[in-house]
A and B are shown apart, each in its own frame.
Chain A
Amino acid sequence: MQEYSSQAAYDRGEAVCVIGAGASGLIAVKNLRENGFEVDCYERDTVLGGLWNPQNQHSPLYPNTHLVTSRSQTEIPDFPMPDDWPDYPSAAQMLEYLTAYAKHFGLSEHIWYGSEISQIDTVEGSRFEVVVKPAAGSAARRLRYGAVIIATGHHWAPNLPAYPGQEDFRGTVLHSSQLKDASRLRGKQVLVVGGGNSGVDIACEAAVNAAGCVHSVRRDTPHLPKYLGGEPTDFALARIGGRPKFLRRFLTDRLLKGPGRLAARMGIEAPGPGSAGEEPVRNGRYLEHVGDGSIRRRGDIARFDGFDVTFADGTEMRPDLVVLATGYAPKITLVKPKLLGVEGDSPYPKLYARMFSPRAETLAVAGLVEPGVGVLPIVHWQTHAIAHWLHVRKGDPERAANFRRQVVAESDQYEVESGGASPRHRLAVDAEEYLASLGRIIDILEQEPAK
């Protein structure tokens, strides 16, 4: 039995509970409030900004983290970043931006810091009882809400591989989130494991800081530089999306030909980005470092052996420091897995339109997608849709039922066929199709009710 400060739960009426005060949570709070909802936001840490705040004790930032998507494709649609900022802002600038957003829209007064949610239960049909556990001292509180939005993100639980002999390895092994300072790389023989954005970024840091850098990748991923044709890559590619259909293929191929040939020259045999739907790595420096030999690429690790590491191709090295940039596993333990459509052995939620719980109408998840473009605008439109949905549901049950059917139909459209085994690709959506689908969902919700 848990100790509660009072027996009865405090009823917050139609108020909405938002969990997490990172980028997604802040956007959710702002959009819900703009639509007239009362909101309580709970943040387990004592600071806002989520993964972008280095003071967050769980922050996954590594040295010199920058956005991999450009400013114009990443900024929140109704709160642009200052236009004198660089095309690819740093993590510090992202935090400054999110802090300004929270201040501008007066969000802080709705956030309860140091409050971890320990339990969420459905009560009275579609309402939720939430148990809030303050970090310091006092007993847990129980509150009831009309709806819950989970915005806890998916970059918290490190995805750690286990190799034979790893526990007896004599060098240091760190996950990318534990590497807070590039000075730890200085003068060392560094082995970076993982071919995602973080792995490639850290390999570039090691290329200029460490005594030597070996980069172990299990399989080849498509590589994109941060600029193409004189423009930020994602912007250049998005612009092609606005051209007539028969031209798109041709223009995309022309744009990607150079980078594709460079990657092939460096021994990266991967289908071009966009064709297989696999999210490309975005880094312009990496291939040049491979080209000047400051990064040596190797295949998968076969085993650790005392001081040494043996790769699948039989080569060996003796690293002082191994950085596992192997990403994160999505992990939501707040609610019963069934509520998020987690079934069978797969730990991945199956949500309607990637945001609505298939079981509970008033439970939604914001930002649990990997769209291959900036996530902030996606979350903006998601929470916009969620807020509208909560309105429609309250006011017009018949439209709500219709909408529900529509959403189920939408949900089947943008599952990306994923050949890769890497966890984050399980959350991948095709940005263009997903945005179009979000657009249709918002249109349905905004339609005037038929009289």
Chain B
Amino acid sequence: MSLTAWVRRARTPEPAPVRREIAVFEPADLFDIDIKDDPEASPVLCCTDDPAGAAAFNALWLKRIATSGRYAAAVSVRGQGGTPAAEGGVEAFTHDVVQAAVTVPRQAVLIGHREGAAWAALAAGRYPAAGLVLVSPQRFPKQPPKPVGGPPILLVVSESEAQSKEAQAVTEAYGTAPLTFAGSPDEVFKGAAAEGILDAVLSWLDGKK
């Protein structure tokens, strides 16, 4: 985050506070003695533009991430799931993601899905994320801010999207090659494609530790 960007933000009225719904799954919640909470592993915070918000990750993602020993959380930004709607566009959604990130006990990896990827990328411009994972990004900012603290960045897109303008723009902005998965971009939360994505993301995260 540049100093000028911060000065500008500090002079802009903050989005109205809302009571955010945050779904949390910790390794200890699994009641499985084989799964050890790994204190070294960064927690994970997910967001998506799906109207269900955090609940969308309940089906598979949170449990699966917790199984890998990580603290897993997902946030519903204003207007999604259990979070009341409030004024403010992308700026307010980004604010919600940052506010959720600082409530996670340790420096978190941000995972954003579709438009959520854009919010996660904007949030990483003002919060030093431990990692940034962009899944099928949509409506991505043309010039995303430089992520604070230089976190590792992963771009995950479906095969059909690999050549899309969005994917190429993100690749260009961060200089990361996309990781592609077979299947439809709508099968991110459930099904075989989802399992594949999660395995890829988690093994990438383990490699970056």
Given contacts A104-B107, A105-B107, contact A77 B126 (CB under 8 A): yes
Docked complex Cα distance between A238 and B103 (Å): 28
Q: Which residue of chain A has the shortest Cβ distance to B126 in the bound complex? A: A78
Interface presence of B4 (CB below 8 A): yes
Interface presence of A191 (CB below 8 A): no
Whether A83 and B99, one on each chain, are in contact in the complex, defined by CB atoms closer than 8 angstroms, is yes
Whether A80 and B98, one on each chain, are in contact in the complex, defined by CB atoms closer than 8 angstroms, is yes
Interface presence of B8 (CB below 8 A): yes
Residues of B within 8 A of A84 (CB): 17, 19
Residues of A within 8 A of B127 (CB): 78-79
Q: Which residue of chain B has the shortest Cβ distance to A440 in the bound complex? A: B3
Binary A-proximity of B79-118 (CB < 8 A = 1, otherwise 0): 0000000000000000100110011111100000000000
Docked complex Cα distance between A434 and B13 (Å): 23
In this complex, how many residues of chain B approach chain A with their Cβ under 8 Å: the count is 28
Residues facing B in A395-442 (CB within 8 A) are 435, 438-439, 442
Docked complex Cα distance between A438 and B104 (Å): 31
Docked complex Cα distance between A448 and B14 (Å): 34
Residues of B within 8 A of A435 (CB): 3, 7
Residues of B within 8 A of A34 (CB): 128, 149
Whether A242 and B8, one on each chain, are in contact in the complex, defined by CB atoms closer than 8 angstroms, is yes
Docked complex Cα distance between A77 and B2 (Å): 10
Most chain A CB within 10 A, of B2, B102, B148, B149, is at B102
Contact of A103 among B8, B105, B149 (CB under 8 A): B105
Binary B-proximity of A78-93 (CB < 8 A = 1, otherwise 0): 1110111000000000
Residues of B within 8 A of A78 (CB): 1, 126-128, 148-149
Docked complex Cα distance between A83 and B95 (Å): 9
Docked complex Cα distance between A80 and B2 (Å): 15
Whether B4 and A439, one on each chain, are in contact in the complex, defined by CB atoms closer than 8 angstroms, is yes
Interface presence of A54 (CB below 8 A): no
Q: Which residue of chain B has the shortest Cβ distance to A30 in the bound complex? A: B128
Whether B106 and A104, one on each chain, are in contact in the complex, defined by CB atoms closer than 8 angstroms, is yes
Given contacts A78-B127, A377-B6, A442-B3, contact A83 B11 (CB under 8 A): no
Name the distance in Å between A354's Cβ and chain B's nearest Cβ. Answer: 15
Residues of A within 8 A of B99 (CB): 80, 82-83
Name the distance in Å between B135's Cβ and chain A's nearest Cβ. Answer: 24
Whether B105 and A73, one on each chain, are in contact in the complex, defined by CB atoms closer than 8 angstroms, is no
Residues of A within 8 A of B103 (CB): 82
Whether B102 and A79, one on each chain, are in contact in the complex, defined by CB atoms closer than 8 angstroms, is yes
Name the distance in Å between A319's Cβ and chain B's nearest Cβ. Answer: 42
Docked complex Cα distance between A105 and B108 (Å): 10
Q: Which residue of chain B has the shortest Cβ distance to A84 in the bound complex? A: B17
Docked complex Cα distance between A241 and B7 (Å): 10
User: For chain A, what secondary structure do more than half of its interface residues adopt (helix, strand, loop), or is it mixed?
Assistant: helix
Q: Which residue of chain A has the shortest Cβ distance to B43 in the bound complex? A: A104
Name the distance in Å between A297's Cβ and chain B's nearest Cβ. Answer: 34
Whether B106 and A72, one on each chain, are in contact in the complex, defined by CB atoms closer than 8 angstroms, is no
Residues facing B in A222-278 (CB within 8 A) are 231, 235, 238-239, 241-242
Interface presence of B10 (CB below 8 A): yes
Name the distance in Å between A428's Cβ and chain B's nearest Cβ. Answer: 20
Given contacts A82-B99, A83-B17, contact A241 B106 (CB under 8 A): no
Given contacts A34-B128, A72-B14, A84-B17, contact A381 B3 (CB under 8 A): yes
Interface presence of A100 (CB below 8 A): yes
Q: Which residue of chain B has the shortest Cβ distance to A231 in the bound complex? A: B13
Docked complex Cα distance between A73 and B11 (Å): 9
Binary B-proximity of A289-318 (CB < 8 A = 1, otherwise 0): 000000000000000000000000000000
Docked complex Cα distance between A239 and B11 (Å): 5
Given contacts A78-B148, A103-B106, contact A241 B3 (CB under 8 A): no
Contact of B102 among A82, A238, A242 (CB under 8 A): A82
Interface presence of A106 (CB below 8 A): yes
Closest 8 CB pairs of A and B: A83-B17, A439-B3, A77-B6, A242-B11, A34-B149, A239-B11, A84-B17, A238-B11
- Given contact pairs A83-B14, A84-B17, a sample of 19 additional A-B residue pairs in the complex whose CB atoms are under 8 Å apart: A34-B149, A73-B10, A77-B1, A78-B126, A78-B127, A78-B128, A78-B149, A82-B99, A83-B95, A104-B104, A104-B107, A106-B106, A106-B107, A238-B10, A435-B7, A439-B4, A439-B7, A442-B2, A442-B3
B residues apposed to A, CB below 8 Å: 1-4, 6-8, 10-11, 13-15, 17, 19, 95, 98-99, 102-107, 126-128, 148-149
26 A-B pairs in the complex with CB atoms less than 8 angstroms apart: A34-B128, A34-B149, A77-B6, A77-B10, A78-B126, A78-B127, A78-B128, A79-B102, A80-B99, A82-B99, A82-B102, A83-B14, A83-B95, A104-B102, A104-B104, A104-B105, A104-B106, A105-B107, A106-B107, A238-B10, A377-B10, A381-B3, A438-B3, A439-B2, A439-B3, A442-B3
